[in-house]
Amino acid sequence: MGWHFHHHHHHLEEKSTERRMPTREIFARLLRYLIPYKKWIATVICAVIVTSATGIASPYILGREIISRYILRGDLYGLQTIILIFIGIQVANWAANTIRMYGLGKMGQSLLLKMRADLFSHLQDLSFSFFDRSDSGDVISRVTNDTDAIGEAFTSGLVQVASDVLSLFMIVIVMFSINVQLSLASMAVVPLIVAVAVIFNSKFRAAYRMQRTRISKVTSKLQESISGIREIQSFTREKDVMKDFKNANLENFQANLQATKVWGSFFPTIQIIQALGSGIVILYGGWLAFNGMLGPIEDAVGTLITFVMYVGMFFGPIFDLTNFYNTVQSALAAAERIFEILDIKPEIKDSEDAVEIPPIKGEIEFRNVTFGYKPEHPVLHNISFRIKPKETVALVGPTGAGKSTIIKLLCRFYDPQSGQIMIDGYDLKKVKMKSLRKQMGIVLQETFLFSGTIMDNIRYGKIDATDEEIISAAKLVGAHEFIEKLPEGYNTKIGERGAGLSVGQKQLISFARALLRNPAILILDEATSSIDPYTDLLIRKAMRVLLKDRTSIIIAHRLSTVRDADRILVIEDGRIVEEGNHKELMMKEGLYKHLYEMQFKEPETEAASLSAISGER
């Protein structure tokens, strides 16, 4: 009967349809993704024509040929032949439809594959500043939901509409070629069909929009409760969380129920209109038949059956056409959101004349560096210092003084607004970033471990490392012992962020990862969290191994670190206020001594870790 309702609209993100990018430009950019599939496009167009033509031929053959010419006239021999033709047409329809669906699916999925790959690789190139101001949920939604919206509009929207327009056009031509008056009478229900389609489409959209917002609320509540399960249980907030989730779940249930109600009333409405259309055709057609205007009675019966079937075929295409505008609007809005990300240029990128930095000796110099994440609010003010190769320098200062910022600039995650940063005499802006970062090792306060095995996580420091090199690095930092005790040793799988390992164990793994890289410059942001004395001892030993024979900059939170450092830079409000080693600075009785007494104070004999105040990231 020509039914092909897709309730595809429920996936589409109903974003604001106010677009800043011209529609023509969005279409042109989307078409570029389809250029490699010219042959498939031609195949799908042919398949659409065959599907429409065979679909329209079926009612004609059934009514005008099989029933009126052969059955009612008792021609059994002719009937056998026409039945074979009828089956042949159905097979052709099936084959063309299969090709159409496969071709569409292949092109749609290829489009999504390429688009998601482009987005992902572009995100890898974007600067930290983009991620600082972006909501990660929104970015993820663009890579997943918005690309889906385009895929759906392409597969179920564009080609379906072409097929619908063709079908309607053919139906009208065939009907008018049989009988003009009966065709006009059949058209009487078309305005009614259009009205119902428009009304239901807006109801569907409202219901699906509600469904989407409600399910995303359920998802976010679920995600929150999984991520925060430790806090929830430790503060015994299970009941409150369950109540929140129950409410979100109930709202989602109500939204789904509303959508079901709309669907539930939709089909009976269609059936009533079809019955009305069929009634008009049979009543008026019967009157024409009695007056002999449809030819002999056998022809009249066949014509009426054909027309009743054609009236039933109106609804599907008209419904699709009324929905097409919204599908396209949603897809264009989604495409714009995708191209918006693809058009963001990385703020930090290699200059045209950037060179590969040769093996680094490890001399670092900051010359009059001023920087602010927002240029109008500087975090560092005209900072200058020089670090000799293989020197260990500790950065000390209150929270928010700018210690982490110095490290971020050194890794060239950001560029300073003024001043220069030099490594071995090379200006960082003039060297290729990859050649620089390959020779640096970074250990952050909060160790990020990827889901996978411990072996994979250590190998992250040097992708081509052998298992032996990994085990040797783990032994050197003292991680081998606890890894061996795990159920599957180095092949133990750990959850995202390293769930299942203690803070100290995660740190040791990140040390092994850094050591495996064997960097010329090591950057270490010490963890502030308290750890047991035994692990603390392990970490202190591991640090000595890690810092040996390389230039090291450490954001220090521990007594042992500041004592062992060759030099300490004391930073306050983005300026270096004191400089020297531990003994020299203690004699000065300045900010360092004050910080030391507040932050690093502990019995000299104890190996207990320092619970530092400076919880800076």
DSSP string, 501-545: S-HHHHHHHHHHHHHHH--SEEEEE---S---HHHHHHHHHHHHH
Three-state DSSP at 208 gives helix
Single-letter residue type at 472? S
Q: pLDDT band for 125, please (50, 70, 90 cuts).
A: confident
pLDDT at position 126: 85
Beta-ladder partners of 426: 423
Domain 8-342 class, CATH top level = mainly alpha
Q: Which of 451, 612, 458, 450 is nearest to 531 (CA)?
A: 612
Higher pLDDT, 150 or 383: 383
Residues 6+ positions from 469 with CB-CB distance below 8 Å: 462, 516
Identify the band that residue 19 occupies on the pLDDT scale cut at 50, 70 and 90: low
- For residue range 414-470, list pLDDT tens digits in order: 999 999 999 999 999 999 988 888 888 888 877 788 888 899 999 988 888 899 999
At 226-276, the pLDDT tens digits run 878 888 888 888 899 999 999 989 999 998 899 889 888 988 998 898 899
Query: Quick one: what percent of the chain has pLDDT higher than 90?
Result: 34
Top pLDDT among 267 and 608 is at: 267
pLDDT above 50: residue 337: yes
More confident residue, 7 or 286: 286
Higher pLDDT, 204 or 283: 283
- DSSP 8-state class, residue 489: G
What are the residue ranges spanned by the domains of the chain? 8-342, 390-402+438-599
Does residue 22 carry a pLDDT above 50? Answer: yes
Cα–Cα dist 264/247, whole Å: 25
**Measuring CA to CA, which residue among 41, 42, 9 is closest to residue 153?**
9
- The reported pLDDT for the residue numbered 368 is 94
Instruction: Tell me which residue has tokens 């031509």.
Output: 173
Can you give the pLDDT at residue 17?
Answer: 42
Provide the CA 538 distance to its chain's centre, in angstroms.
Answer: 40
Binned at pLDDT 50, 70 and 90, residue 496 comes out as: low
For the stretch 161-212, pLDDT in tens is: 888 889 999 999 999 999 999 999 988 888 988 898 888 888 887 887 788 7
- Which tokens in the block code for residue 21? 């990018």
Asked if residues 193 and 272 have their Cβ atoms less than 8 Å apart, the reply is no
Architecture label for domain 390-402+438-599: 3-Layer(aba) Sandwich (3.40)
Bridge-partner residues for 369, per DSSP?
383
Q: Does the structure show a pLDDT above 90 at 93?
A: yes
Q: Is the pLDDT of residue 599 over 90?
A: no
pLDDT at site 529: 62
pLDDT at 206: 82
The string of DSSP codes covering 19-68 is -SS-HHHHHHHHHHTTGGGHHHHHHHHHHHHHHHHHHHHHHHIIIIIIII
| Predicted TM-score (pTM) of this structure | 0.70
Give the CA diameter of the chain.
120
Q: How large is the average pLDDT for residues 319-324?
A: 78
Alpha-carbon distance 434 to 262, whole Å?
56
d(CA 309, CA 111): 37
Contacting residues for 122 by C-beta, under 8 A, at least 6 apart: 341, 342, 344
% of the chain exceeding 70 in pLDDT: 92
Poorest-confidence range of 11-25, 38-52, 266-280, 307-321? 11-25
What pLDDT does residue 608 have? 37
Average pLDDT over residues 32-52: 91
| Ranges 119-128, 223-232, 283-292, most confident | 283-292
pLDDT of residue 604: 42
Least confident of 40-44, 77-81, 107-111, 529-533: 529-533
Residue given tokens 């992250």 in the structure block: 460
Predicted local confidence at residue 287, as pLDDT: 94
Q: What's the whole-number average pLDDT of the chain?
A: 84
Mean pLDDT of 406-411: 90
Sign of CA dihedral 111, 112, 114, 118: positive
Domain 8-342 matches domain 390-402+438-599 at the CATH topology level: no
Per-residue pLDDT at 179: 92
Among 26-35, 321-330, 606-615, the minimum mean pLDDT is found in 606-615
Question: What is the per-residue pLDDT across 130-171, written as a single tens digit (0 to 9) for each?
Answer: 887 777 777 887 888 888 888 888 777 778 888 888 999 999
